[in-house]
Chain A
Amino acid sequence: MSTTIPRPPTDPAEYDAFGCDPNSDVIETPDKVSPNIRLTRKVHGSFDVTMPDGRDVRFWGFVDPNTSGGDRTWPSPLIRVRQGQIVHATLDAAKNTHTIHWHGIEPSTVNDGVGHTSFEVSNQYTYQWQAKTPGTYFYHCHKNTVLHFEMGMYGPLVIDPPSGPGLLFERHPADEDQATDLRYQVEAIWSFDDVDPRWHELNHSAGLCGEDAGLNRFEPKYFLISGVPHPRTERDPRVIVRARKGQNILLRSINATYSNLDIRIGLNSTIVEMDGRPLRTNPQLGTFSKPIPVPAKAVTNLTPAQRTTFMIHNVQPGRYEVTATYKDWITNRPHAAGGLARTWIEVT
């Protein structure tokens, strides 16, 4: 004797507007206030990245039209603003529709870049938000995100304290910890990613509106850090960290994969920030977290879209290994095609 559990009744128009036919009526930015900083990100439809086996894989991304020579970068160019600044960020969607979601940044609904709660952008829209908490974020397209994110439509975003890069956050008199050095002289921003080349042959709107595009099947073949595929990560200056004795190193790590990521750093470090929130206990500010010490070579797990920032104080000369293990979201084992990227911290 079998019974039926039906779906709840849904208005077909709402069903379509949620996914297949989202609102694309772009409005003028509401409640506009004067910005401290203006920036633009324009969608770049297609460029190739050559993988270590010689295969060219197609990517999409955002470019900064105000910067020359920046038209083939992946991940998309870094956005760096300061705590307190009001940001007006214009998306130029070029052809088709896209959005930008400012991941970890929490603006109003129309500035959040999600189609089903606001609109997808044809032509242009200017997003408005005010940078509040120093830390590590990223921005990405939130249209058909499963595909557009895999296609590379993301870039790192850092909020610095008012004094700018070089300081993690400003010390507050009520911080319980008054001792830890919050300055850094060397910084790396590592965006970890994995690439299934099959997905990169698909159309912009693949899978929408009921089509089975196999987007539940993800079998990555390439494992990358900041757009550099392993094993080039072992020598590429975009990934390798070089420091001098006695310096403090800040490692900002973004899991832009569809994998459970295990990071191992070959020397002692401290997690000082996660998801754009400094780890600090401060009753006046209403924060209740503490930095997390990580012994050399211990595993730190990052779930997809999580950011974890490590500080290494007073580094001593040596060559220290950093590995990232990319594990399948179901088996929790490294992917069949390797699931490893390695790089180095070189201290002289």
Chain B
Amino acid sequence: MRRRQFLQYGGGLAGVAGLSFLSGPLLAQAAPPPIEVSLRIQEADVEMVDGSAVFMWAFSLGTGKPSVPGPVIRLKQGQTVTLTVQNLASTPHSLQIPGMPGVSLGPIAPNGIGSVTFTVGLPGTYFYLDPDRAPLNRLLGLHGAIVVEPAAQPPGSPATPYAAGQATPGVRALFSALGNHARFPGSPWQPGRDRIWVFNQIDPRINKLAEAGDLAGALDLTASFLPRYFTINGLSGVDAAHDEATVPRGRVGQPLLLRALNAGLATHSPHIHGNHVFTTAEIVESSHAVRVLDNIIEEDTWSMPPLMRRDLLLPFAKPPEIPDAAWPPRQEKFPLIYPMHCHNEISQTSAGGSYPLGLVTDWIIEGPL
């Protein structure tokens, strides 16, 4: 097991200076406190699931451990953020948050520091990434997820992941039903109950050229991209299925929001077993802005083209096709474990084989309602 680093508003982690902040229901008048986020970029040798290592660039929070993807950053709508990026790599790098206008800094020279102050935009799931030599720098590790939460939840209404003016009738109907409807017995969705799934693919030939300093050659090679490793949150196969921060877990009636992002160049086709998911948001292709959906379609498989971000509500319902007369199970024991994997099965390999050491993880139903 490994714990990912989380940056919580006011969380007090290394590299973060913020005011202490109470969790739980927020009053509408509570303005989110300003926050400083310090990221570092450095070079890293990243170990793949088969034990081989590839060269990548990695973000860390301040002096914390570098990781690919970078650490998850959680912000509040309307919050003032001062983002500082220190470049410890030997090549220049930049930073952007696609879909959040005005957040752009760089290029930052080796050993240089860049900084930008901005007001956090609409709630949703975002990338922070290095847009330079696109798609090379992002592909080789310089990407991470940002979760923007609403500044406040509307009093008297069920919590949703979106701002009051942003949530559609469809989203409001879904979140109103959770914990409050014969189909969804249990609890409403709790803000913060989510999992972030960042997908990426690795073609080691490209990493090798970049390590040797041939960035032009590495960029050229992305045109004939032939990935050999497929990751979710930087992990493959059994490593991802055992990663606490990746695996959704809970009892029936504890709905959870999946935030899926694809940093790579291949179109993934995630398929979840055990429950269908309700897709609640995606991005507008041209602007990368968050688009909250009104037609809330239930899917077991959804498309994730490059740079797509989607929010999907995993209801943690009783798996529907367990016969009603066999629920709760007596002979089969909890937990019930279900995979989520990409159904473009090419992604289920590592180094040309070794099914299923690719883009797969599990999710776990620990018990009945």
Contact = CB atoms under 8 A, between A and B. Distances in A.
Given A117-B337, A275-B299, A286-B184, A5 B67 contact: yes
Interface stretch (A13-21, A56-64, A182-190, A237-245): A13-21
Interface string A125-142: 000111111000000000
Interface stretch (A69-77, A90-98, A99-107, A340-348): A99-107
B101 interface: no
A66 interface: no
B183 A116 contact: no
A111 to B, nearest CB: 8
Interface string B149-182: 0000000000000000000001001100100011
A214 B346 CA distance: 10
A290 interface: yes
A296 interface: no
Interface string B50-70: 110101101000000111100
Given A304-B343, A304-B344, A19 B331 contact: no
B322 A130 contact: yes
Interface in B271-289: 271, 273-276, 278
A173 interface: no
Interface size class on chain B is: 35 or more
Contact of A216 (B68, B278, B336, B349): B349
A7 B51 contact: yes
Interface stretch (B5-13, B91-99, B117-125, B353-361): B353-361
A206 B339 contact: no
Contacts of A289: 170, 295-298
B273 A114 contact: yes
A130 B325 CA distance: 10
A30 B329 contact: yes
B273 A112 contact: yes
Interface in B331-369: 331-332, 336-339, 343-346, 348-349, 351-357, 362
B321 A130 contact: yes
B295 A292 contact: yes
Contacts of A105: 321
B159 to A, nearest CB: 17
A242 to B, nearest CB: 30
Contacts of A277: 276, 297-299
A211 B299 contact: no
Interface string A274-294: 111101000101111110100
A277 B44 CA distance: 45
Nearest to B178: A286
B269 interface: yes
B142 to A, nearest CB: 14
Interface in B27-60: 42-51, 53, 55-56, 58
B243 A8 contact: yes
B170 A288 contact: yes
Given A150-B345, A285-B183, A217 B226 contact: yes
Q: Is the interface of A mostly helix, strand, loop or mixed?
A: loop
A216 B88 contact: no
A305 B269 contact: yes
B115 interface: no
Contact of B238 (A14, A108, A132): A14
Given A4-B44, A86-B323, A329-B344, A207 B239 contact: no
B349 A215 contact: yes
A241 B368 CA distance: 46
Given A117-B362, A130-B322, A301-B303, 16 more contacts: A1-B88, A5-B58, A10-B242, A31-B330, A106-B321, A207-B352, A208-B355, A214-B352, A215-B355, A258-B346, A274-B299, A286-B182, A288-B295, A303-B302, A303-B304, A305-B343
Interface of A: 1-8, 10, 14-15, 18-20, 30-33, 86, 101-112, 114, 116-117, 128-133, 144-147, 149-150, 206-218, 258, 260, 274-277, 279, 283, 285-290, 292, 301, 303-306, 329-330, 332
21 contacts: A4-B44, A5-B58, A5-B66, A33-B326, A101-B273, A105-B321, A106-B320, A108-B332, A111-B322, A117-B338, A146-B348, A146-B355, A210-B354, A279-B297, A286-B183, A288-B174, A304-B269, A306-B299, A306-B303, A330-B225, A330-B267
Leading 5 A-B pairs by shortest Cβ distance: A207-B353, A286-B183, A212-B352, A305-B343, A30-B331
Interface of B: 1-2, 42-51, 53, 55-56, 58, 65-68, 88, 170, 173-174, 177, 181-184, 225-228, 234-235, 237-239, 241-243, 265-267, 269, 271, 273-276, 278, 295-305, 319-326, 329-332, 336-339, 343-346, 348-349, 351-357, 362
